[in-house]
Amino acid sequence: MNEPTDNVVELFRRRTRSPLRPRSSDLIQSVFPAFRRSIPHSPSLILGEVEQWGRSLFVIAQQKPKPENLRTKEDLAKLNHGMLTAEDHSQIARFLKKAVAKSRQGEAVTAITFIDTYGADISMESASHFQAFFIAMLIRDFLTIPLPTVSVIIGEGGSGGALAIQMTDRRGQFDDALYATAPPESLAAIIFRDPTKVREALLISKPTAQELRELGIIDQVLPSPKLVNDVEGYARPLAAFLEKAVKDLSRRNVKNLLRIRRNRAKAFGIYKLEPYKKSGRWTSFFRLTPLRRRAEPAPDLKTFHLTSNDIQSGVEWGEETDPATHPEQYVKCGDMNLKAGSSERGCGAVLKVSEFMANHYVCPKCGVSRIMGAMGWINCLTDSGSFQEMSRELSAHQILHPTLLTPEYASFLTKQDQRSPFHEALVTGVGTVFGRPVALAVCEFYFAGGTMGVVFGEKFFRLTEFALEKKLPLISLCCSGGARLLEGTPALMQMVKTVNCVTRLKRDGLPFISVLGDPSTGGAIASYAALGDIILAEPNALVIFTGPRVMAARGFPVNEEDVRAAALCRSSRRVYENIDFYSDIRGIHETAERRDMKAAIYKYLEYYRNCTPISNRYWSE
């Protein structure tokens, strides 16, 4: 290819997004002449089998539309071309089970995936059918499937839609293909609030094959031909890569492949720390520090002091709360946000800030709640004074790849430090729930919107290791805006890292209770948070992969009430009526108000304790 690879914007426009670029079906036809396509299928998904290179190959391919598929107004009006829906992800999960069943019958089976998508479908239809949960389940499936697996990014790899089927034993990418945390239009809409700033978004993403190989996200860069419409020019290096990978993996023991996958997953994002050592039990990892931090009002909370003039306006005060003798901060329900132009529900009640915080940021008059930070959630879920923090000082400066820690990002992190009493978007440690010890991971929404970055993933990993060593149940509180877009693709890989942690807990039989706070979105809900043995949620929590603002910016209709936890919990009942479709997904098991969440957690802790043999119980009597 003679295109200048240093100009990622031109690469994106003229090569990656070219309508003349070969699609999956073109390459499959060339590489696998005897391919048998499975039915049913959707326009965006190809499933099929072929016997080649001494193996039974199960092929999963994402399919972008070809020019001939976009000839009518109806075709052009569709917004989710080339995006996999919840139905598509369900088909993939069932297809993988078929491959495993065939392997257990004695056949030599390898799974191959072709990635070429803008991202996962972000329609309300998919969201209400647990799209994020399907992505988390497929990441887990590819980490644990007892088969050799190979993937190739043949065009565009967008967000969780690509990651759901990309984390394989061998991972290739064409040198004119791009793989990013989010499609550039979506990234621009989130960061710049302007979906037209594609250039700026691409420069942040660092999505090229060479960059991704350096970051350990792919293994091999495949050369592309000079002409973007040269099918055979793409097919030849693709076939050579696949044949070599399939034959090499066929000589590997599956247990070794599983071990390598786990080790790779836990290392994502670690570039400056020494390799983990089995001896010494990582004493510094497990250091606990008492949480001596006073709860402060949320940084965006609009507070004020009452004066004697307020008494004349009809407000009644007792002697101890007379503003002349006891000045205190107050908030007004429905007008609590410092951000200009924000609109809120509320009853207009004037509340003491201290009482509002003690009530877990919920108005006692009307029940309207505001987003709560990590300190508030720790106080809500654990016994007073019991929480001890782990990995307190770990920061992006210590472990992030130097090419990603740009001056702009460093400045962003400094600003977030000023907004939060914590140093990152995840706070981890141990505490007690009605006297029962637990490991606890709590998102800090006041730091970068609770987004997942490399420190987030590393802290979750260390907490999991501690829980495994001490045989503690793990409780997570999700309150997140998704992956940390400013960190590029390594932030996306934390979805894999945290899913791997959850699979370790499950292998060792330790309970994992996932609590969904408001909001639970993006990479967090599409990874560890969707894989709880029990999933609890506050009723008004927004639970969705792609946020409503981005959906609206991309032209998709939005109805937030359908993806609030209360509605999703009600719709979870249909899961049991269609187990084949939902596979291992069970949705949201129960909703509870914030004041009742601690008791709800304890109920399930007691259940697990009573079902566990005394010799294996994860807490002492």
Backbone φ, ψ for residue 170 (5° rounding): -125, 135
Q: What is the DSSP letter of 362?
A: B
Q: What is the CA radius of gyration of the chain?
A: 25
177 CA to centre of own chain: 23
The reported pLDDT for the residue numbered 408 is 84
Please provide the DSSP assignment of 550-602 as one string. Answer: HHHHTT----GGGGBHHHHHHHGGGGGG-HHHHTT-----EE--HHHHHHHHH
**Residue of 4, 322, 38, 306 lying closest to 176 (CA atoms):** 4
Q: Give the separation between CA 8 and CA 125, rounded to whole angstroms.
A: 33
Q: In DSSP terms, which residues pair with 533 in a beta bridge?
A: none
3-state secondary structure of 430: strand
CB burial string 216-247: b at 16+ within 10 A, e below? bbbbebbebbeebebbebbbbbbbebbeebbe
- Going from the first residue of the chain to its last (621 residues), give the mean pLDDT of each consecutive group of 10, the final group possibly shorter: 60 93 97 92 93 98 90 76 94 97 96 96 94 98 97 95 96 96 84 84 90 94 97 98 98 96 91 52 70 83 76 44 63 86 81 94 93 96 96 88 84 93 95 97 97 96 96 97 91 96 94 97 96 97 90 86 95 92 95 98 94 56 38
**Residue of 13, 358, 381 lying closest to 176 (CA atoms):** 13
**Residue of 136, 224, 101 lying closest to 495 (CA atoms):** 136
The reported pLDDT for the residue numbered 32 is 98
Q: Give the separation between CA 421 and CA 193, rounded to whole angstroms.
A: 27
Tallying the residues shown for the chain, one arrives at: 621
The reported pLDDT for the residue numbered 397 is 86
Q: In DSSP terms, which residues pair with 110 in a beta bridge?
A: 57
525, 545 contact by CB (below 8 A): yes
Strand 512-521 vs strand 534-537: parallel, antiparallel, or unpaired?
parallel
Domains belonging to the chain, first-starting first, are 8-267 (3.90.226.10), 304-358 (no CATH), 371-568 (3.90.226.10)
What H or E segment, with its residue span, contains residue 73? helix 73-77
The reported pLDDT for the residue numbered 353 is 94
509: alpha, beta or left? (left if phi > 0; alpha if psi -120 to 50): left
Distances (CA, A) of 270 to 274, 276, 396: 9, 10, 10
The reported pLDDT for the residue numbered 199 is 87
- What are the DSSP E strand ranges found in 304-349? 304-305, 329-332
Q: Give the separation between CA 248 and CA 148, rounded to whole angstroms.
A: 10
The reported pLDDT for the residue numbered 102 is 97
The reported pLDDT for the residue numbered 308 is 54
